[in-house]
Amino acid sequence: MARVLVVDDEPMVRDLSCSVLTQAGHTAVGADTVAHAERELCDSPYDAILCDVNLTDRVGTVLLDHQSVARNQTAVVVMSGSAGLPVAMDVIHRGAYDFVAKPLAPGEIVECVDSALRKRDDRLRESARKAELERLVRDRTEELTRALHTTERAYDATIEALGAALDLRDTETQQHCLNVAEISLRIARAHGIDDATTLRDLRWGALLHDIGKIGIPDSILRKPGPLTAEERLIVNTHPMLGYRMISAVSFLGGASDVIRHHHERYDGSGYPDGLSGTGIPITARVFSIADTVDVLTTGRVYQAARSDAQVRAEIERCSGSHFDPDIVRSFVAAFGREERTSHERT
């Protein structure tokens, strides 16, 4: 049964209450002041408190502020011989389980304490159920997040493998897709882009930017000499070819911006749509700088690899014509810093 603390400065009321509660099977302890009651509550836990309002040291209702009451571990029943409705409403509002008028008949004392204990048990069960539900929701959310990360890692590995396969097809530009994916992210971060979805779309778009070249005949793509005007037109269809292939894949929707627009130029002279300025998706504007940086850095059959300073000078030369000047500034600031740091280390 329950442990009940009876707080009343009238010995007769206190002793009678303790006696009837003990007869009802509870363990009842009496306290004549708030200070005495507080000592009792500190020493051992109580399931219920039956307390008078007017005590000799302080008002009994201060016991409603005790931490065990706030946690619903102790049910408080307030009794008074004189307090009216405002006090009754106040104590219920502050967490009392009941407010009863004195004097109480022996049966009423047991009944009001038992009723408060039943309500307390209901509230504890409800709190436990709510805590269990919250734990379940938390666990499921964590599981779902882990599953999503696993799925996204699988997508990422698949796209990276596809990018590496595209690099293999073009023997002159090995590692190009992987390089531009990495350089694009460095430029984007230097430019203050930190949205995870945008960065992911940029990485995937960079890895697959020339996927449309799958649809260009090898006789043109691998032609040793210069292309004719007609052949150039065919090669220039690769952004739209790639876009059509990828736009059907829903999770690559964001990446398809880079694939379609990676040959647009800031001044509007690019292809396939002739977009200009900020009309070009920002991922494509970042990517086009990365693409050129890698081509210049690694070199090609027709041109030697350039030094970091030469690459930076070339990017700056094309600022405003080929490239977005704002992003060029971010690139120069960040990559210049990296160069200085690496020189200081060596």
Q: Which residues bind Fe ion (CB under 5 A)?
A: 210, 291
Closest to Fe ion by CB, 177 or 328: 177
Instruction: Report d(CA 265, CA 275) in Å as an integer.
Output: 7
Give the nearest distance from C-beta 194 to Fe ion in angstroms: 25
Based on CB atoms, which residue is closest to Fe ion, 292 or 319?
292
Nearest approach in angstroms of CB 205 to Fe ion is 11
Phi, psi of 283 (to 5 degrees): -65, -40
Question: Do the beta carbons of residue 197 and residue 307 sit within 8 Å?
Answer: no
Q: Which is nearer to Fe ion, 16 or 227 (CB)?
A: 227
CB nearer to Fe ion: pick between 112 and 177: 177
Using the minimum distance from each CB to Fe ion, give the nearer residue, 74 or 184. Answer: 184
Handedness of CA 7, 109, 3, 50 (dihedral sign): negative
**Beta bridge mates, 28:** 4
Q: What's the rounded Cα separation, in Å, for the pair 293 and 312? A: 8
Q: Are 102 and 12 in contact (CB under 8 A)?
A: no
DSSP state at residue 261: H
Pull the structure tokens for residue 337.
Answer: 């810093």
Question: Based on CB atoms, which residue is closest to Fe ion, 92 or 240?
Answer: 240
Q: 72 to each of 81, 109, 118, 119, how far by Cα in Å?
A: 26, 21, 12, 10
Distance CA 248, CA 267 (A): 30
Q: Phi and psi of 174, rounded to 5°?
A: -60, 140
- Please give the Cα distance from 338 to 335 (Å, whole number): 5
Given the complex with Fe ion, which of 201 and 210 has the nearer CB atom?
A: 210
SS3 label, residue 323: strand
Q: Is 100 left (phi over 0), alpha (psi -120 to 50) or beta?
A: beta
Residue whose CB is less far from Fe ion, 120 or 209:
209
Q: Please give the Cα distance from 129 to 75 (Å, whole number).
A: 19
Residue 322 to residue 74: CA distance in whole angstroms: 74
Nearest distance from C-beta of residue 169 to Fe ion, angstroms:
13
């009876």: which residue's tokens? Answer: 6
* Residue 25, helix vs strand vs coil: coil
Q: Which is nearer to Fe ion, 110 or 255 (CB)?
A: 255
Backbone angles phi, psi at 100, to 5 degrees: -125, 150
